[in-house]
Structure 1
Amino acid sequence: MNNNQVITTIKERSSARAYSPEQLTQEELNTVLNAGLMAPTGMNKQEIHFTVVKGDNPVLSELDEEKRRLRSQEKQPHNFYYEAPVLILLSAEDGFRWSQVDAGIAVENMALAAQSLGLGNLVIGCIYDALHGEKKDYFSKAFQIPEGYSFQIALAVGHKTDHKTPHEYDFDKQVTIL
């Protein structure tokens, strides 16, 4: 396999679940956000909206509680974003068929950009039900998700304090070439 810079970044990326309290610089944050904005979208609709939430925002605690309630989970020693200093919520226009795909592409661009900067990151989908449930309007307003948009996926970003090895895969089992 070719080991150019992009392939190396992809191979080295893994989900970070421990972060230092150090904040991202504005340049780091902008680099990650621009990577998301540069992602291709179906029909070039560019319907993804990015909401940056600082990790100490009190509404995140409420969201964590709602996620646990809906999943009947007991309190954990960590929150759903593992105390990352930044959480980026990706939302998309309601009704566009490819929004979930577009958000997935954008979040992966952002995850790889974060990795290339030496930042840890974690793709988060576990809050989907909480952000689409009975408190959707409350959370949409609190997180300033634009009218007519709905949450799709999120990315926690920060300076990681854990260094886990990326998952292995079985090419022959997972790939069929016809």
Structure 2
Amino acid sequence: MATSSSVTERRGIPAAAFVEDVQTYLSQSALDVNTALSFFQERLQQYRVVEMKLLAQQRDLQAKIPDIEKCLDVVATLQAKKGSDEVLTADFEVSEGIYSRARIEDADFVCLWLGANVMLEYSSEEANALLKKNLENAKASLEVLVADLQFLRDQVTITQVTMARVYNWDVHQRRLLQAAAATSES
């Protein structure tokens, strides 16, 4: 009989069913061994595709979080220097490998890249609040992705074990048939 965990899916990822009794599963599903193995193999491939997508999202978030933290540090430095007569000298990247030096005397506003070639000017306080919110959202998304990846890995393992059980059951059935045929010939 096919049993599955209490979770049937997680964010669109279907849960794998563990096949406890292969013969019952095949007869209830009206499948032969090859069809069942093909189904499980296809499901395994689907899991692999989803895993690749989730890993790419995880890499993006893991790269994004330090960038947001760096921006928060810069905004905090600007806020700390605000009102003092101290001039801040900063090197910033104009494009890949090309840097420029700037003198920042008193910065009440900062410009933040929002993506899609869009930059907006914010007050230091607004920028700080926005960056903190973005950092919280990125960390929360990363936690969800890690949980999704763990769920997915569990489903891959369940599917692989089920495939092995179906294959081994089939081998056992063939051996029984061969043994029965050998005893009937003698």
Higher helix share: 2
**What's the TM-score once normalised by structure 1's chain length?**
0.22
Q: Using CA pairs below 8 Å that are at least 6 residues apart, which structure has the higher relative contact order?
A: 1
When Rg is computed on C-alpha atoms for both structures, the one with the higher figure is: 2
Structure 2-normalised TM-score? Answer: 0.21
